[in-house]
Amino acid sequence: MTVACLCAACSADDEACPSGTTRRDGACVTTYDDCGPSALPIPGGGCEPIGVRADACAVGFTYDIAGTSCVPVLPEAPCAPNAIAVPGDTVCHPVGVTACGAGTKPDDKGGCSAILPPAPCGRGTLALPGETSCHELASCGSGTFGDIAVDGSTLFVDQSALAGGDGTKERPFRTVQEAVTAAKAGANVAVAAGTYEENVDVAKPLRIVGRCPSMVEIRGVGGAPAAFLHATGAELQRVAVTGPAGGVDLAGGAKVDRVWTHDTGDVGLVMHKLGAGIPSVTGSLVEGSRRIGIALAAGVVGKVEKTVIRRTRAHVEAPEMGHGLHVQDGSTLEAREVPTDVNELVSWNQPLMSRLSGACS
């Protein structure tokens, strides 16, 4: 009996386990091979590779050293800011514009930047792309009316003249509005040096020309804009404009040329949709406005050329504003030959800079 029991015990311990298992602590357990980091062990033995197959990498990619994925084929060193490489490239390729326009130069990022003076321009002066020094908007010339072109239709304005003038050069009007009211359509109004505290309203085609912006200023009073031009053919040239409310309102085909609008209590310049024609601003400087530098009302098609907008400030009634440009829905702004660098077109504005919700070119 004793021998028989011992033999039976030995027979149970030596019983073979099924394939893929091994005996451990008296029981058959599944075996797993050591497959390393690039494969998974298969129950019962063997390994299953993980990751992408070595022959499955796309064009421009290669199997990595670890053997688990595909990595892009790229240059050994990172590309410069003005270059790029796509998978499969072993060298970097230049990107960006191939030629810069007039007044600009290539930058180190594949684009173009405006050629401008090294330091910001002072009050009442500007520089346009390609100019390396700041300058005033217009020459003052010599004599009472400087180099203003005059003809037989010209009416004259001089703040220092005696009251009761008739608009002649010898007896000029004392206010701009007097001359505007007396002028015939197509006439010129020549304005001598002085600060004219009035609100000028122009509802007919005529041209108001100051000696120069640094010497001639229209300073609005009350809550109306300092100047309102709402007739095709109405032009305001070579003056400065300021006031406690807005600066200049334009409508129809009215034009502003070489005008310095500065430190206004509200929007510097507004274009309205009244009448036919395209309101335009050329060669001007709009700085220190409240709320908005230049605004286009809904539905307006306007044009701005060679013009700088800067230092636009927030308004007590709109602290979130301080926009260089504000183009309402349905409006189109055509901007040509203007600095678009942050240091000029919308320099020193509040963080929102400018809002263009219409079309802009």
Encode pLDDT of 75-108 as tens digits. Answer: 999 998 878 999 999 999 888 777 888 888 888 7
Taking alpha carbons only, the member of 245, 238, 252, 201 closest to residue 219 is 245
How would residue 337 be classed by pLDDT, with cut points 50, 70 and 90? Answer: low
* pTM of the shown model: 0.72
Q: Please give the residue that has the higher pLDDT: either 340 or 89.
A: 89
Please tell me the total count of domains within the chain.
1
* Cα–Cα distance measured from residue 113 to residue 233, given in angstroms and rounded to the nearest whole number: 36
Q: Is residue 353 part of a domain?
A: yes
Only one residue has tokens 């930047």, namely 113
* Cα–Cα distance measured from residue 293 to residue 323, given in angstroms and rounded to the nearest whole number: 6
C-alpha torsion 125→242→153→192, nearest 10 = -70
- Residue 62, strand partner residues: 71
* Cα–Cα distance measured from residue 97 to residue 106, given in angstroms and rounded to the nearest whole number: 8
User: What is the mean pLDDT of the segment spanning 287-306?
Assistant: 91
- Residue 207, strand partner residues: 188, 235
Only one residue has tokens 């028989």, namely 4
How would residue 8 be classed by pLDDT, with cut points 50, 70 and 90? Answer: very low
Neighbours of 111 (CB within 10 A): 13
Only one residue has tokens 């299953």, namely 48
Residues ≥6 apart with Cβ < 8 Å to 89: 60, 73, 74, 75
Structural domain containing residue 203: 195-360
User: What is the mean pLDDT of the segment spanning 24-34?
Assistant: 88
* Cα–Cα distance measured from residue 79 to residue 32, given in angstroms and rounded to the nearest whole number: 47
Amino acid present at 356: L
Handedness of CA 131, 136, 137, 141 (dihedral sign): negative
Q: 296, exposed or middle or buried, with CB in 10 Å at 0-12, 13-18, 19+?
A: buried
What proportion of the chain, given as a percentage, has pLDDT over 90? 54
* Cα–Cα distance measured from residue 326 to residue 323, given in angstroms and rounded to the nearest whole number: 6
Q: Is residue 280 part of a domain?
A: yes
- Could you tell me if 214 and 239 are in contact, meaning their C-beta atoms sit under 8 angstroms apart? no
Is the model's pLDDT at 266 over the cut of 90?
A: yes
Neighbours of 329 (CB within 10 A): 8
Q: Is residue 53 part of a domain?
A: no
**Two tokens, residue 55:** 């022959």
C-alpha torsion 335→341→343→344, nearest 10 = -20
How would residue 14 be classed by pLDDT, with cut points 50, 70 and 90? Answer: low
How much is the mean pLDDT over the chain? 85
CATH of the domain at 287: 2.160.20
Q: Is residue 92 part of a domain?
A: no
Q: Is residue 234 part of a domain?
A: yes
Sheet holding 235-237, edge to edge: 155-157, 188-191, 207-210, 235-237, 255-257, 280-282, 301-305, 332-336, 359-360
